[in-house]
A and B are shown apart, each in its own frame.
Chain A
Amino acid sequence: MTSPIAQTTYGPASVWAVIVAVGVCTFGIRLSFIYLFGHVDAVPPRVTQALRYVPAAVLAALVVPAIVSIEPSLGETLTADRFLAGVVAALVAWYTEDVTATILVGLAALWVIRFVVPV
């Protein structure tokens, strides 16, 4: 039932390259309009429009494969408990919009399903 957590095979140089690249780009994003103000007035409307959908799309793309599986085989049990716990967590997120509550209830649900409910 315990899945060995996947570990990266990338070496320290690659990992640091990623950290620095993401860090520099993120800083560039943060600085962008603070620096440009006066040269460019505002974010172009088309960009704003597209940016509105970025969080929903990226976050959903990260969440869904982590709690649902399309391969009902060996991983079935694991994905089933993650799916059920994910549903509970989604309800908590919906009602509370609180990250801490979502983590705590989601993990508690996973443990109850894993260790308490007899299968």
Chain B
Amino acid sequence: MSRLPPAAREGVRTSLPLVVSIVPFGLVAGVAAVDAGLSPVAALGMSVVVFAGAAQLAVIDLLGRDASLVVAVVTGVVVNLRMMMYSASIAPYFQRYRARWKAFLAFFLTDQAYAVSIARFEARDGEERDASGERGDWFYLGVGASLWVGWVVTTAVGVGLGRGLPDSWGLDFAVPLIFLALLVPRIEDGTTAAAGVVAGLVALFGSGLPYELGLPLAAAVGVGVGLVAEEVRGR
């Protein structure tokens, strides 16, 4: 670690509490994947390749229920759409790097890596990059890569625990609990609440639809209701 640039070392240090906070999430991702019938290699491969907790759990959940493959893919992708906003927000700070390095950096863009990096970039805007010789990309990479390692390792531990856990413990219940924990802070006001409530109801009544089509339908209706509610309130 001593050979790393100072900014990268600082990134790794900054990431430690974040890595600890994803431990239960990674364990659940590993256990849930094995429970859903994925091979240990596929379970781990998903964490290596996709590297996005909520999306992975949604995909695992849908595969376990034999949803249509298209629905599984689309749902996983939609859950990750928020990252487009992180990409836009962090883009100016990566502007001067070469295309290949940008692509490498982009792979590690997660909620956590974005949040702590953008806070630092904005606080030091511009000055950090040249004057002190510290590079923001190394800090960001220190955070992002540590999270990736932590995510893959905890998933592997979860895969290892996997089938050793009795069904009656209801550990599969941890998956909706994680979604719930992520959902609650997203209900920020009346319009997001309307989007959530309507989507939840549509999903509930659409749960009998083939290929788990109730889910994308519910998500689309929920987003539509949010937009309409915003329009109505804005008048």
Contacts and interface: CB of A to CB of B under 8 A. Distances in A.
Q: Do they bind each other?
A: yes
B106 A35 contact: yes
Contacts of B85: 43, 48, 51
A58 B183 CA distance: 9
A99 B199 contact: no
B36 A60 contact: no
A47 to B, nearest CB: 8
A9 B66 contact: yes
A17 B76 CA distance: 13
Nearest to A115: B168
Contacts of A64: 199-201, 203-204
B103 interface: yes
B122 interface: no
* Interface residues on chain A, size class: 35 or more
A65 B76 contact: no
B226 A65 contact: no
Contacts of B130: none
Interface string B201-235: 11111010000001100111111011100100000
A25 B201 CA distance: 28
B219 to A, nearest CB: 5
A100 B76 CA distance: 22
B182 interface: yes
Contacts of B133: none
Contacts of A61: 199-200, 202-203, 214-215, 218-219, 222
Contacts of B180: 59, 63, 67, 86, 89-90, 93, 102, 106
Instruction: Kindly list the 10 A-B residue pairs having the minimum CB-CB distance in the complex, ordered from nearest.
Output: A57-B222, A53-B226, A7-B37, A64-B200, A37-B91, A66-B176, A23-B49, A102-B181, A61-B218, A61-B203
Interface of B: 21, 23-25, 28, 35-39, 42, 45-46, 49-52, 54-55, 58-59, 61, 63-66, 69, 72-73, 75-88, 90-92, 94-95, 99, 102-103, 105-107, 109, 166-187, 191-193, 195-205, 207, 214-215, 218-223, 225-227, 230
Given A27-B106, A30-B107, 4 more contacts: A2-B168, A37-B94, A54-B81, A82-B176
Interface of A: 1-10, 12, 14-23, 25-27, 29-38, 42-43, 47-68, 70, 82, 85-86, 89-90, 93-94, 97-100, 102-104, 106-107, 110-111, 114
